[in-house]
Amino acid sequence: MTAKKLDASDITERLTALPAWAVQGGKLHREYKFADFVEAFGFMASVALIAERMNHHPEWSNVWATVVIDLTTHDAGGITSKDFALAGEMERLARPRTT
Amino acid sequence: MTAKKLDASDITERLTALPAWAVQGGKLHREYKFADFVEAFGFMASVALIAERMNHHPEWSNVWATVVIDLTTHDAGGITSKDFALAGEMERLARPRTT
């Protein structure tokens, strides 16, 4: 079951909940800056598990403490609710882990 | 202690031991294709540990089963023996793990 491509107004509305994200090149985009490689890759490892569980995977790159994310749903030809769900999980995982 | 930037003839000679690698954009470059995301990210997790131990980290991107690598030594302004060492570790880690 493929998620449906969201239209521009849907995307704009959903982005209000994710202020650090933007649409770039037709994909949901964010750049994260961590303290160092260990933190950056720790984030990526957490996201990898969640992405596999969701069966929805990011396009991403990493250089040292920077992780750049682009989310799109290839089957739908654009941004879907699955991309927003994964972006939301990333925001949660990027926050400090301890209380 | 910074590794010394290798000249073109050094690089050409060292590449004979790494036939799947090439120089692209002044960096040591390779694209790995795995069976799926689990294998691709498993490789990345292995490389991350080695890179951290070496204190030498890749520029890399991942989309599903593909991992694209670019290696350079920023301090040296080019490709050094550290990049070849990391590339060699990646080749080792990308091979099947069991006997």
A24-49 pLDDT per residue, tens: 999 999 999 999 999 999 999 999 99
Q: Is the pLDDT of residue B1 over 90?
A: no
pLDDT value at position A49?
Answer: 98
The pLDDT value given to residue B47: 98
Separation of alpha carbons B82 and B75, rounded Å: 11
Residues of B in contact with A36 (CB under 8 A): none
In sequence order, which ranges of A1-99 are alpha helices (DSSP H)? 8-15, 37-54, 81-94
Q: Report the alpha-carbon distance of residue A28 to residue A6 in Å, rounded.
A: 12
Q: Do A38 and B52 touch (CB under 8 A)?
A: yes
- The ipTM, to two decimals, is 0.94
DSSP state of A30: E
Cβ pair B37:A57 closer than 8 A? yes
**Nearest one of A22, A94, A17, A20 to A8, comparing CA atoms:** A22
Q: Rounded to two decimals, what is the model's pTM?
A: 0.95
Nearest chain B CA: its distance from A56 CA (Å):
9
pLDDT in tens, A36-90: 999 999 999 999 999 999 999 999 999 999 999 999 999 999 999 999 999 999 9
User: In chain B, which residue's Cα lies nearest the Cα of A62?
Assistant: B60
> What is the pLDDT confidence band of residue B96, given thresholds at 50, 70 and 90?
confident
Q: What does the alpha-carbon distance between residue A64 and residue A92 come to, in Å, rounded to a whole number?
A: 21
Distance from C-alpha of A89 to C-alpha of A50, rounded to nearest angstrom? 8
Contact A63 B63 (CB under 8 A): no
State which amino acid sits at residue B20. A
How close is the nearest chain B Cα to the Cα of A11, in Å? 23
Is A1's pLDDT higher than 70? no
